[in-house]
Structure 1
């Protein structure tokens, strides 16, 4: 149970709560042990005829009084210990979530969402059960075992006690064997539950694709298989525990048989009194009840240990991106940045995304990047946001090494719009204002106007207070991109990055958005990554990448004169636009 060492700081912080809870629990157990002594005196009094009405009334009132005290102390231990376990659940879940937010993107490319969700739900619940029911039952069982055996030996007969305890070593060994097996099987249950959670989450997120391709039956079959795996692993665990509990009860029950045979003989030979025998059996009932409960405790503690070990594995992961011990605070960033002979390869990839890449951008300058898919275009903003660290070379912001900067200062002053921006299940206003703490609706509307989204929003029934649904399901692809642009603009960033952010809008809408952003782009350091020449042609400088290296560089006019990749793309896209315009004109003429 070395896994539980991770909970020592919490236990120390809440030691008085646990100590008072355990004290109340022990008080209940101690009061319960008085009952057999009362039964002993009642039985001996009845056997000898010395029990009077006054004594009978006194003993009855004493039992009622003990019952009242048991009720009070039981209330206190339940409130104290269960409340502490709920606080542990609360703090552990916060700790896990905070840690998940600190981890680097590369971690999430290796882990499944369903597995992480299982950590935050089932695993934490299992740890809470170990910290409540486990602690309560273990304390209860250990105290009753020790106290009952002590009372049996001191008040009745040592030989009878030792004979009654003969099955106990076998019982202890059985508990040890079963406990290890329970831990192993519970880990399998949790892993299969993680897979099932991942399957549900993935199918709900991709429901439109599933329905579009009519794959409901196939996905249902896959879900049935994952669900069957959870069922089978749970049944194996239930079979193990179902065998464990009756076996423990059977071994414990042998003590009653031994006590009945030998104890009756002692009473007949008057070695012990009938009251002694009745009290002994009452203590033995407590003992036999508490020993199988240890099996229940082992089950809960092993489940908790298995879950805590899974949580500890996540908490032990160190983020790839770490802030400097004394970071440079850059609260008023100009937006200037430079790459010096940068080479970078994504984790697990065999090819370099960037090779010996160098570029410098001055404050207020606009830089465009074009290239084929996989040429390394999107890697540039990834490194500027320091979501990954370079393998060779270095990146600088405002003349400072990016690794020396405060991560919050850096990211708070960069407005980043990617092609597939994530939209939260919240209102349009909340999504636009996501990157800021406090902002007026007027400022939100101004950002939406610049992004070319304001007129679309005004057509919604609740306008800016419209809930967009999970991942912005109620918005079109172009509306999502424009919302993401507004979210970046509302930050008033020092560095504005568009990573193919206008790919989902037509060229006419693109022109309108770029015209409205012209002033912003002129006054802000801007990095625009795009496939369309029309998106990049206003940039002061344009780079063309191929296999992570710069193959062309210059202004729009200079690149056209080079007659290379950029010029070919320009001619092709112009032809496509002319054909598209011709089709629109022909359609309009036909309809009129």
Structure 2
């Protein structure tokens, strides 16, 4: 079947462990089958008056030896089989995470965090259950079934064996016939779990907004709906699968009834001995395990099959932006950016976000992007870092088309401060030094903090740079988060520095200090801002409107032009004067 073929790829590196584990299972199964023979011989000796103290001691020691051997064997098969299943779980989760890291922004625009979490938890857990417990039960029940049937026939004959096991094939056939239904209900449950996970994650991420707008009731209703849906799907699974276990108990009861009725008659007639009857009775109990496990095995196969199908479908998703086969390296000591007649529209839109945009930013120069909200300033930055590719025109980084370059080299020599200012739930020092895999000198962290104007804020905290931030940096103010994010970019001493409205939460005095410090780096800089004071000293300013360049020049030239830029500038001057008057 497709599922077994797919999962065998992950099991292949651990075949030796599986073989060792299976061999121990066979040893245990053989021992389990042998125990009723001890009881059989014991009963026959007692019935025939041949039970002596020495034989009694021998039977006791054999029983103890079997228990010790089974204990040792169970330890080793658990280590081999369950340990391998955990390794497979680790391998799949790592492969899935590495795959997600390669995906482009459009992928994350269309896949919610909760859905992705369901893949990394429930789906992989279902696969692990099959590769561990499922494999164990399949092998164990198969060997146990074969060995037990052989011993039953040898002990009490074929006729009694067949008669006492009549209920078993009927229950097995019924269980197998429900396989398709199980697949559907397990898949429905996985989808419901993904929805619940997404709803919960979204609520926790936006808890401040929910409370600020007094939307707790609405958030609770959404969670209740998702929770109720997941509950109903679980109840449906329980209703559809729970009948298997009572059915197995019923079949076992019927088999025991037949053993007692028919076996007793065989003993009375002298066809079999009392010891044969006791052994046969024990074997019926043993063979019920393979029969009962059949339902559990089918459940695990179906759940694992659903999980594997979802994981495979996720791994098949290809990023729309791929690394070139032979990427071109970039020089490390300079950075220039050029747009040649670039037009672009987002995948989910028919409207162009950028229209025929052209500019050239020389090494060591600064470029500012300004305009009203929605004028596609940030879109230009996304195209530079190849989050998307243009529909028309060319984007050149150091003279190399962005589609052909080694993107890692660009990101290594670039410092990027996005609007989001995302911070991790780690210390401030770890957030600033995020770009470095190895531990770096504390001095570099402090120097970057000084350049970004956040040093004094950090040192005022009780634990200083070792202060652990809350989720997404929630324990810091907006301005502090922005400045920590800037320090994270500056510590790289970037040749290309990109600031996407990264000074909006700081006052103009702090802004000036930060910009003066940044100027000392002599980096090529692209800065997006709404505040004119942030970008007035840039070598070139592009005023964007509706995705096109409407005005361009330096600050003085644009003021003299007396267009949209100057109008924005005059409005901001007036606002500043009014604020000063109010103070």
TM-score by length of 2: 0.95
Matches within 5 A, 1:464-479: 464-479=465-480
User: 1:275 — aligned with what?
Assistant: 275
String of CA shifts for 1:536-556, please: whole Å, max 9, x gaps: 221111112222211212122
- The 3-state SS of whatever aligns with 1:404 is coil
Deviation for aligned residue 1:423: 1.1
Task: Tell me, in whole angstroms, the C-alpha distance in 2 between the residues paired with 1:447 and 1:274.
Answer: 88
- The 3-state SS of whatever aligns with 2:271 is coil
User: 1:346 — aligned with what?
Assistant: 346
Asked if structure 1 preserves the Cα contact closer than 8 Å seen for 2:11 and 2:88, the reply is no
Asked if structure 1 preserves the Cα contact closer than 8 Å seen for 2:354 and 2:546, the reply is yes
Deviation for aligned residue 1:422: 0.5
Task: Tell me, in whole angstroms, the C-alpha distance in 1 between the residues paired with 2:68 and 2:513.
Answer: 79
User: 1:587 — aligned with what?
Assistant: none
Deviation for aligned residue 1:328: 2.0
Change (3 A) 1:408 1:258: same
String of CA shifts for 1:64-114, please: whole Å, max 9, x gaps: 222222222122112222222222222222222222212112111111111
User: 1:501 — aligned with what?
Assistant: 502
Matches within 5 A, 1:96-111: 96-111=96-111
Task: Tell me, in whole angstroms, the C-alpha distance in 2 between the residues paired with 1:390 and 1:468.
Answer: 37
Asked if structure 2 preserves the Cα contact closer than 8 Å seen for 1:417 and 1:499, the reply is yes
String of CA shifts for 1:193-230, please: whole Å, max 9, x gaps: 22222233222222222222223333233323322222
Asked if structure 2 preserves the Cα contact closer than 8 Å seen for 1:93 and 1:120, the reply is yes
Asked if structure 1 preserves the Cα contact closer than 8 Å seen for 2:172 and 2:291, the reply is no
Task: Tell me, in whole angstroms, the C-alpha distance in 2 between the residues paired with 1:480 and 1:269.
Answer: 90
Change (3 A) 1:465 1:72: closer
User: 1:357 — aligned with what?
Assistant: 357
Judge which range, 12-21 or 205-214, deviates more: 205-214
User: 1:427 — aligned with what?
Assistant: 427
Residue 403 (structure 2) pairs with residue 403 (structure 1): yes
Residue 546 (structure 2) pairs with residue 547 (structure 1): yes
User: 2:518 — aligned with what?
Assistant: 517
Asked if structure 2 preserves the Cα contact closer than 8 Å seen for 1:253 and 1:288, the reply is no
User: 2:448 — aligned with what?
Assistant: 447
User: 1:489 — aligned with what?
Assistant: 490
Asked if structure 1 preserves the Cα contact closer than 8 Å seen for 2:429 and 2:445, the reply is yes
Residue 558 (structure 2) pairs with residue 565 (structure 1): no
Task: Tell me, in whole angstroms, the C-alpha distance in 1 between the residues paired with 2:104 and 2:472.
Answer: 22
String of CA shifts for 1:438-496, please: whole Å, max 9, x gaps: 43222222222222222222322222222221111121111111211111111111111
Task: Tell me, in whole angstroms, the C-alpha distance in 1 between the residues paired with 2:194 and 2:211.
Answer: 24
Asked if structure 1 preserves the Cα contact closer than 8 Å seen for 2:172 and 2:294, the reply is no
String of CA shifts for 1:557-587, please: whole Å, max 9, x gaps: 2222322211211111111111112212xxx
Matches within 5 A, 1:170-209: 170-209=170-209
Asked if structure 2 preserves the Cα contact closer than 8 Å seen for 1:419 and 1:502, the reply is no
Task: Tell me, in whole angstroms, the C-alpha distance in 1 between the residues paired with 2:333 and 2:500.
Answer: 21
Coordinate RMSD, CA, aligned: 2.0
Asked if structure 2 preserves the Cα contact closer than 8 Å seen for 1:178 and 1:244, the reply is no
Residue 311 (structure 2) pairs with residue 321 (structure 1): no
Task: Tell me, in whole angstroms, the C-alpha distance in 2 between the residues paired with 1:11 and 1:468.
Answer: 40
Asked if structure 2 preserves the Cα contact closer than 8 Å seen for 1:171 and 1:252, the reply is no
Task: Tell me, in whole angstroms, the C-alpha distance in 1 between the residues paired with 2:553 and 2:212.
Answer: 44
Judge which range, 415-424 or 115-124, deviates more: 115-124
Deviation for aligned residue 1:9: 3.2
Task: Tell me, in whole angstroms, the C-alpha distance in 2 between the residues paired with 1:74 and 1:392.
Answer: 65
Task: Tell me, in whole angstroms, the C-alpha distance in 1 between the residues paired with 2:407 and 2:253.
Answer: 64
Deviation for aligned residue 1:33: 0.9
User: 2:92 — aligned with what?
Assistant: 92
Task: Tell me, in whole angstroms, the C-alpha distance in 2 between the residues paired with 1:14 and 1:228.
Answer: 40
Judge which range, 362-371 or 156-165, deviates more: 156-165
Change (3 A) 1:495 1:58: same
User: 2:7 — aligned with what?
Assistant: 7
Task: Tell me, in whole angstroms, the C-alpha distance in 2 between the residues paired with 1:136 and 1:528.
Answer: 60
Asked if structure 2 preserves the Cα contact closer than 8 Å seen for 1:333 and 1:398, the reply is no
User: 2:228 — aligned with what?
Assistant: 228
User: 1:533 — aligned with what?
Assistant: 532
User: 1:590 — aligned with what?
Assistant: none
Asked if structure 1 preserves the Cα contact closer than 8 Å seen for 2:431 and 2:488, the reply is yes
Judge which range, 107-116 or 86-95, deviates more: 86-95
Task: Tell me, in whole angstroms, the C-alpha distance in 2 between the residues paired with 1:538 and 1:265.
Answer: 106
Task: Tell me, in whole angstroms, the C-alpha distance in 2 between the residues paired with 1:519 and 1:178.
Answer: 72
